[in-house]
Structure 1
Amino acid sequence: MKTKLLILWILLSCSVFSQEKKIGITGKVVDGTDFGVAFTSVTISSTYIGTVCNDEGEFGLIVSEKHIKDTLEISTIGFKTLKVPIKDYLAQQEKKIVLKEDVVSLDEVQILSPEKYVDLARKAIKKTTLRKTHQLNILYRRFSTENHTSRFLVEHYIKALDRGMGSYQLDKKVISEIRKSGDYRFLKKKQSYHAIDVMINRHPIRTGEYRNGYEWKKTGGTTYDGEDIIILEGKHKKNKWKKITLYVGLDNYGIYKIETSDLDAVYLYKKHKNGKLFLSYHNREWKSDMRITDVQKKLLKINKNKIEVSYRHEAMVLNIETDRKKMDVEGTAIGNKDMGDYELPYNPAFWKELNMPPESTFYKKSVKELESIYKVSLEDQYKNAN
């Protein structure tokens, strides 16, 4: 009996000591005027585990203790890429990272027509983007608002196989984890597909939308990771409201950023260690006016016949895996139903350790609105709704 207890104690001890200690890294990325730099990429350079700053420049990372000797790599368009040893950063009293603006003037080097740069970017996609199958681990978040008040939050942790912006679709996509608030919507506008499909199916490069019917002009210049970038704005010849803006590198013609008038969408790309670009961040917002009933008017305490309904989306790529042997795309297959209708058990331990950006002002406001409806904490909503 004593021998069995001794063996059990040894096994338990080995299990405890084998667990790697986790280190929390938080801070804020600012420019020279102390203004937060939104959606900056913060990455552990040797692993490409990382996160994206919120819209106020704040970030948070949870890493293993073995990464203490590694380096934080901070990169975004318009600023010089900065590398900071993690050990040195943790020793700083003020957890702030100041980026230096990388000013550039393209007046002297811009010798081609805007249409030519767009064409060169199209032809270079196979060389500039990560075309080999890779796994994206994505935090996908959607806030649903009615009459400018948040009434439903859904977050999915998605694993997807991709071959870059040169491919039309994701090869595979599954949901690994879910958490969602109580659904307090009056007007449950649902989609017959997952919201991540919109991110892909309305991507102007993947669909080829940008290739026809647009007039292009140069609107400015900036930099990314030491490369000069030309900013090109395309306006549709017939539908003047349709606009696409491309940020194209002058050295390799890579597309680093895409902005579209369609849903006010933004796509950000960053460099892998092999120099190829992969998706890092996306946001968009859908808005519409919807009619409400007399009963709903009384409940909302308004006299209007219609209210504004919106979906605010964010997709943050938190990790990328290029080694086929290490890819793990297991989970609930994404099909043809609204992302709010998927059901999985809520796993608080998973969400606690996820490298999520700190709560922005909008996020805090939305959570406060969700909690105030029936005076139920968001954590309790997660437990009850999942």
Structure 2
Amino acid sequence: MKKNIIMLLVAMLFVGANYAYSQQKNEVLLEGVVIDEYKMVVPYAAIGIPSKYMGTASNDEGGFQLSLAKSNLQDSLEISSIGYKTYKIKVQDYLDKKVKSIVLKEDIVSLSEVKLLNPSAYVKNAVKKVKYNTLSSKHQLNMIYRRSSVEDGKTRFMVEHYLKILDYGPTVPSFDEMEIAEQRKSADYRFVNKKQPVHTVIVMAQIDPIRQGFSLKDYDWSKTGDTSYDGEDIVIILGKEKDNPKKFIRLYIGIDTYGIYKMELSRLNSLFLYKKDINGKLVLSYHNRDPSFQGTISEQKRKLLKLKTTKVKCAYRHEAIVLSVISDRNKFDIENINSKRSDMGDFDIKYNPTFWDTINLPPETAFYKKSVNDLESIYGVPIETQFNAVNK
């Protein structure tokens, strides 16, 4: 608890005094922190103006940033998160607040067992209604995708891509098309240096059980809790594989719509979050996963690195942040389709520092900060220096 309070105070100091206007005269920058009534941070809350297809999400420390036009000052800003009542405030009123924080009130839910279906029935209905509950017409996802290569407990290489993806949502097994529009890499200090055969955003779709399909009969289903999201009661359903109970799927399913708002998987230690668009359709908002594996190095490297064994604990840490969703096909702007099947770190994309300096990203997550701190400690130089030295 003390840790969360300290993070909150740091976030409040960071955003504290006044809102900041962006350098562009017709824009304002909203920034702040989302907390609950007990002053605990609320991670991954959806913040935006649904009627204008504008929005972002708070990071894992509750912080957020959102760039808006001055013409949006009279619009209603909505903040929602699983387990809390949706909060609404006019953009101008938020800017006028002295303390830049959003306090969400817990939505107490106690579902009557009499009214509840069998747990497996909720999953069955949710799978059946995916097409109706999700954005299943062709749309463009603009996202930041990060991957850190962790070896012996430390990030030794990081690559970030700005992706433009054409998708039909979880009604199809894979993405339709993809462009790596922008790229930047850190210096590379890997000694295991394991490659992956495809861009790892493709793996994100491949591990999604809703996209790929699964047999309900292979799992033992149970209700483990209840909560709410944006006015709808949610039941939390856990499915454990009958042959291997350590493998599980946890689904957060709407009682009325059977929409799937959140999904947690034992597979690759994965999380998927979805939020509603203007029409109430669910679309991907955030994803992370942290799979670990054993890497093997040569005896020569072991001696050089002064390690006790040639077996090295490794991990690939992934994070995908959807920045915007475009539903109007006339506004799709994918140009260079990247069909090459290669490791994410091996794509040759021209570095554009101006893009990374001006793009409106949410505040850095703990995931990102740890990777940056590790890389800076290895090389002894700021991450920006590495970007400028390594990228061409």
Q: Could you say whether these structures have the same fold, taking a TM-score greater than 0.5 normalized by the shorter chain as the test?
A: yes
Residue 75 of structure 1 and its aligned partner are, at CA, apart by: 1.4
Q: Is the 8 A contact 2:177 2:337 kept in 1?
A: no
Residue 361 of structure 1 and its aligned partner are, at CA, apart by: 3.7
CA distance in 1, matches of 2:56, 2:301: 40
Q: 1:210 to 1:51 in 2, by over 3 A?
A: farther
One-letter amino acid of the structure 1 residue matched with residue 270 of structure 2: A
Alignment of 1:293 with 2:293, yes or no, is no
Alignment of 1:99 with 2:104, yes or no, is yes
CA distance in 2, matches of 1:292, 1:34: 46
Q: Is the 8 A contact 1:222 1:229 kept in 2?
A: yes
Which TM-score applies when normalising by structure 1?
0.91
What SS does structure 1 have at the residue aligned with 2:335?
coil
What SS does structure 2 have at the residue aligned with 1:69?
coil
What SS does structure 1 have at the residue aligned with 2:51?
coil
Residue 219 of structure 1 and its aligned partner are, at CA, apart by: 0.8
One-letter amino acid of the structure 2 residue matched with residue 73 of structure 1: E
Residue segments in structure 2 that go unaligned for 5+ positions in a row: 1-23
CA distance in 2, matches of 1:334, 1:91: 48
Alignment of 1:310 with 2:338, yes or no, is no
Please say which of residues 329-338 and 229-238 is displaced more in the overlay.
329-338
**Percentage of pairs with the same residue:** 49
Q: Is the 8 A contact 2:48 2:54 kept in 1?
A: yes
Q: Deviations over 1:213-270 (max 9, x none)?
A: 1121111111010000111111111122210011111111111111110011111111
The residue number in structure 2 matching 1:11 is none
Which one of the candidate residues 207, 218, 224 is aligned to 2:212? 207
Residue 321 of structure 1 and its aligned partner are, at CA, apart by: 0.9
What SS does structure 2 have at the residue aligned with 1:380?
helix
Which TM-score applies when normalising by structure 2?
0.89
CA distance in 1, matches of 2:364, 2:117: 43
Alignment of 1:254 with 2:259, yes or no, is yes
Q: 1:346 to 1:230 in 2, by over 3 A?
A: same
Larger Cα-atom Rg: 1
CA distance in 2, matches of 1:207, 1:201: 7
Q: Please give the residue correspondences for 1:1-386 in structure 2 after superposition, counting only pairs within 5 Å.
A: 21-108=26-113, 110-209=115-214, 211-386=216-391
Residue 118 of structure 1 and its aligned partner are, at CA, apart by: 1.2
Residue 333 of structure 1 and its aligned partner are, at CA, apart by: 1.1
Aligned residues: 368
The residue number in structure 1 matching 2:5 is none
Q: 1:127 to 1:365 in 2, by over 3 A?
A: closer
Q: 1:362 to 1:170 in 2, by over 3 A?
A: closer
Q: 1:219 to 1:114 in 2, by over 3 A?
A: same
One-letter amino acid of the structure 1 residue matched with residue 187 of structure 2: G
Residue 299 of structure 1 and its aligned partner are, at CA, apart by: 4.0
What SS does structure 1 have at the residue aligned with 2:52?
coil
CA distance in 2, matches of 1:24, 1:301: 48
CA distance in 2, matches of 1:162, 1:62: 25
CA distance in 1, matches of 2:348, 2:360: 23
CA distance in 2, matches of 1:302, 1:226: 54
Q: Deviations over 1:92-143 (max 9, x none)?
A: 2211111111110113454321111111112211211111111111111111
Residue segments in structure 1 that go unaligned for 5+ positions in a row: 1-18
Residue 381 of structure 1 and its aligned partner are, at CA, apart by: 1.4
Q: Deviations over 1:265-315 (max 9, x none)?
A: 111111111111111111111101222233333443332332211111111
CA distance in 2, matches of 1:107, 1:59: 36
CA distance in 1, matches of 2:336, 2:40: 40
Q: 1:216 to 1:108 in 2, by over 3 A?
A: closer
CA distance in 1, matches of 2:340, 2:215: 28
Residue 332 of structure 1 and its aligned partner are, at CA, apart by: 4.6
CA distance in 2, matches of 1:187, 1:108: 52
Q: 1:131 to 1:362 in 2, by over 3 A?
A: closer
Q: Is the 8 A contact 1:45 1:70 kept in 2?
A: no
CA distance in 1, matches of 2:172, 2:367: 33
CA distance in 1, matches of 2:217, 2:178: 30
Please say which of residues 302-311 and 189-198 is displaced more in the overlay.
302-311
Output the aligned Cα RMSD. 1.7
What SS does structure 2 have at the residue aligned with 1:336?
coil
Residue 34 of structure 1 and its aligned partner are, at CA, apart by: 0.9
